[in-house]
Every structure is written in structure tokens, then in C-alpha cells.
Structure 1
Amino acid sequence: MAKQKEELLQDKLAQLHSLLKKAVKEKNSSDITIDSINKICEKVRTESRVQSQTKNKLQALYMQAMNDAETEQECLKKALDLIVEIRELKESLSKYSAPTVVRRGVLMSLLQEAARTLPLWVGEPGHEAPPLCGSRAPDPSYICQPRDKIAALVREDGEDNWILAEVIKYQWTNGRYHVADVDAEEGKERHSLPKTSVIPLPLWKANPETNPEAIFKKGEMVLALYPQTTCFYRALVDEPPTSVHEDYQLFFEDPSYPEGIAPSLAVPQRYVIPLRDEQNA
């Protein structure tokens, strides 16, 4: 099974390489076409009357530019889908590896990498982002899949805490999740939890420029992973991201500070999730 998955992974990587090469080719073709359009438009500005031949040429160039852009967009969409499949294959392959204890520093680096490589949602213009994109909550009937990362409400040392965990399986007979703490230093503790104690993390990153509805607003209360830890805490959005390259700036509740909140900290979209109604009580 592992060998088959490895072969499939290599095939997906080859497909991704081919798609990206095609996207670059279409981008270069589009740039040349747009440059030709700009030159003709500049020439037209100096003429008193536009010849019909020039109009026809411009129309043909505009059509060519649109076709190039659409082909490039299609290649990039397929590439994003492939990246998701590749990530899932790499995750599934890891279970065939010999178990290892991950040091805290390595774990933090892996969490940062997972946030940085979260797939970007690219939808049709004017369409809203789907559930589990950015701030969008999942459908009520949604069931997390094995190996999905989640926020899990567990009782430790007499206190309820939201921790970063991984789904092992969902038990349909009793409607409970079996999850494992991602923190290797804690011995990968396992918990059996009801659906109400599990919050899935986003599956896609939202683009604030095209899907602002999938971005938490300034002043909104959220649940977020405190930097350099594997625990989620209540936080207030100080500044939402304005581009796909930016993180949230959040004020975490922290009684150790005089005002009860910590200075603004950066947290990526992957680890900022909706605060459930029952937590606001």
C-alpha cells in the first residue's frame, strides 16, 4: 500500500510540475499580447481617427489575452487542487513511517509550515467562499476526516482547555470523535469527544481582496492558537489580514497583563476559528 501511494505521489508531483510550466507559458503569452495592446492603444491616442483595421486587430488581441488568462487561471486552479491531493498523500504516507518523538521546536516549525502552505481558495468572481474557507463555519452535518487537524475541548488537570489535536476516527454509533493531542511531549494523549467539543480548522485560506466575507472583522472575538503553543485561547481581532500574505493581529485574553490582554500577536488564518456561542456565555 505504501509503495502504491508513493508512486501516486510521484505521479501527482509530475502533473503539478507540468501544470505550472503550462501556466507560466500562458502568462508569458498573455504578457506579450497585453504589451501589443498597450502599444496600439498608445498609437491610437495620437491619431485623430481609428482605422477599422486597427479596431479589428485590437479586438483579436483582446480575445487572445482573455483566452490566455482563462487558460492560465484553469491551470492554477488545477494546480491548487493537486497541491491539496499531494498534501493528503504525504499525510497518509507518514503513518507508514516508524513512530518518532517530535521535539517542541520541530513541532512548532511543522505547524508554521502547515499554516503557510494552506491552500488558497480561488472561486468564481462574485461567488461567496465555501464552508471551512477562512472564517466560514462548517455545515452542521460536516464530519471531520481521519488525520484532520482540529481544536478539541479536553479536560486536563481539572480544567477545560482547547488544544490542537488530530482526528483518529469518528464513531457513528455514538457520535463521538477519537482524537490525539498533536503535542508529542504529552505522549500523544487520546480523547473521546462529542461533536460539540470539536472545531475543524479551515481547509482553505481566504483571499481578503476577493472573499472579504470569509475574513473575521476587526473587533470580533475568535478562538486562536497562541503562538509557540498547541493551545487555543479567546482573542480579539486587532487587525484582519488585507492580503493573502498577511496574518491576523490578535489581542489574546491574558490575566497576567494589567489590562487583561496581551500585546497584539500575529496568527495565521489556519489557526483562527469561530468562537462558539456557548463560549460567549
Structure 2
Amino acid sequence: MALVSADSRIAELLGELHQLIKQTQEERSRSEHNLLNIQKTHERMQTENKISPYYRTKLRGLYTTAKADAEAECNILRKALDKIAEIKSLLEERRIAAKIAGIYSEAEPPRKTMRRGVLMTLLQQSAMTLPLWIGKPGEKYEVDDIDEEGKERHTLSRRRIIPLPQWKTNPETDPEALFQREQLVLALYPQTTCFYRALIHAPPQRPQDDYSVLFEDTSYADGYSPPLNVAQRYVVACRESRKK
């Protein structure tokens, strides 16, 4: 019954998401005329090589309208992102419910039959599809802590669980949300499913970039591996202090 309810809600959300995407395109098309006017006004100013009171007043009005258009489009996009996040959450809840009930689809076989190469691919796909966080000025980050997944393997205390990021960070707008150079973290070692202690070598420069990290490794003279790339999704805070 829960699976049917989840499917119904997902279908409803997909319909709402479709409408929001249409609204985004309509809003963008409506704002293009104003942006074109801004461009033409600047071109005329360059031709006349002066900024008259007329152009100053006109540009002020055009930029005010452009700002309002951008905020309207941004609000629609935020609503769309919320819908996507809710859909992903429902899909995960549906997967867990199906697993508890002993139902497996052909697209998602039991983990015990999953080849390692397939698992590595799924990890990379999960990192690539992590939604980008678009924060408002002064807005703080919040995370949901999921303590267990249907008691399918282990039961752990809450203090022993470190949640993975739910959003990617844009370094250009929210650099304070990133780990900084030489900060101690736990990072997923490439081609494994294990997290190891590491130092940040370089944070991402663009939303699609990975962290460059130095894993602790006693086989190297300085105790750290060469720089390796790890997706934002698989770099989390380390609660232990750095080794002296």
C-alpha cells in the first residue's frame, strides 16, 4: 500500500515539476526583451561616448526590471529543486520499503549479487547527480540525519554516523561551505567503498570540480599519498584531531 502511495505522489510531483519547468522558460523568454534593451542602451552610450541623465534613468529602470525578472525565475527554480529533492527522497523510501518487503526489480538486484565495477559506477553516478545548493544571502546549511536503512545490516548509535552531503557547493557563491586547504577530512578512496583520513590539497574551483586530497599513507616518506580527486559527495568532516 505504501509503494502505491509513493508512486502516486511521485507522479503528482513530476507533473508539478513539469509545470515549473514551463514557467521557468516562460519567465526567461519574458526577460530576454529587457536584457536586449540593456545591451542596446549600452551600445548607444558607447557610440555617443557619454552618459546622459536620460540614459542613466533608463538604465536604472531596465536593471530594476532585470533584477525582478531574475528573482522571479530564481524562485521558480528553487521550487523545482525542492520538487526534485522530494522525488529523490520518495524514491529512496520506496526502495527501502521494497527491500524490507523482499521485492527487487530487475534494475536493482540484491547487493550481494552486485559486481564491484557496477557498484563503483553507481557511486560515481550518485556524486554527479548530487543537486547544487543555491543558498540565499545569510542562509545556513541544514542536513537530515538518517540513522538506519530498514535495519538491513547494522544498528549504530547516532554519534557514530556521519551523513553524506545532500548538496554540491558552488565555490563562487558559497566558498565558506567547502573544506579548506590542509583541513582534515574523511574521503572515499578511489575505486573502494571505504572512507580514510585525508588532508584537503585543493578545494573545488567550480561546482562540477572534485576535491584534491592527500590520503594518509605510511608507504610515502611524508606520510601522505599524491593528490587524488574525490567528489564533493564523498568528502566529510573528520572528528578526530590531525596526527602530529
TM band (smaller chain): 0.7 to 0.9
Comparing 111-120 with 67-76, greater Cα deviation is found at 111-120
Distance 1:50 1:217 in 2: 47
Q: What's the CA shift for 1:279?
A: 7.2
Query: What corresponds to 1:139 in structure 2?
Result: none
Cα pair distance change 1:48/1:117, threshold 3 Å: closer
Residue 157 of structure 1: aligned partner: none
Alpha-carbon deviation of 1:201? 1.3
Residue of structure 1 equivalent to 2:178: 215
Aligned counterparts of 2:53 and 2:233: Cα–Cα separation in 1:
54
Aligned to 1:24: 25
2:90 is aligned to 89
More deviation, 88-97/266-275: 88-97
2:197 to 234, 259, 265: 234
1:268 to 2:231 alignment: yes
Aligned 1:134-149 pairs, distance under 5 A: 144-145=145-146
Task: Name the CA shift for 1:217/1:210 in 2 (closer, same or farther; >3 Å).
Answer: same
Question: After the TM superposition, which residues 23-172 of structure 1 pair with which residues of structure 2 at under 5 Å, given as runs?
Answer: 23-45=24-46, 46=48, 50=52, 52=54, 57-95=58-96, 96=98, 97-98=103-104, 100=110, 101-125=113-137, 127-132=138-143, 144-145=145-146, 167-168=148-149
Q: Distance in 2 between matches of 1:49 and 1:254?
A: 62
Cα distance in 1 for residues equivalent to 2:179 and 2:128: 18
1:206 aligns with 2:208: no
Q: Secondary structure at the match of 1:30?
A: helix
Deviation, 1:211, is 1.3
1:46-82 Cα distance to aligned partner (Å, 9 max, x none) = 0667364x55544443333122111110111111111
What is the 5 A alignment of 1:248-259? 248-259=211-222
Instruction: State whether structure 2 residue 4 is matched by structure 1 residue 15.
Output: no
- Aligned residue pair count: 231
* Residues in 1 aligned to 2:222 and 2:243: alpha-carbon distance in whole angstroms: 19
Contact 1:233 1:252 survives alignment (8 Å): yes
Between Structure 1 and Structure 2, the one with more helix by share is: 2
Report deviation, 1:249: 0.6
Q: CA shift at 1:248, angstroms?
A: 0.1
1:244 Cα offset (Å): 0.7
TM-score, normalisation: structure 2: 0.83
Question: Scaled by the length of structure 1, what TM-score is found?
Answer: 0.73
Question: Alignment partner of 1:108: what SS?
Answer: helix
2:203 and 2:26 map into 1 onto residues whose CA distance is 35
Structure 1 gaps of 5+ residues are 133-142, 147-166, 170-177, 181-189
On the 8 A contact 2:198/2:215 being kept in 1, the answer is yes
Aligned partners of 1:201 and 1:271 also within 8 Å: yes
> Is the 1:121–1:129 Cα contact (8 Å) retained in structure 2?
no
Cα deviation, residue 90, structure 1? 1.3
Q: Given residue 149 of structure 2, which amino acid in structure 1 is its aligned partner?
A: I
Matched to 1:74, the amino acid is N
Tell me, yes or no, if the aligned pair for 2:184 and 2:242 is still in contact at 8 Å: no
CA apart distance, 1:225: 0.8
2:166 alignment partner AA: L
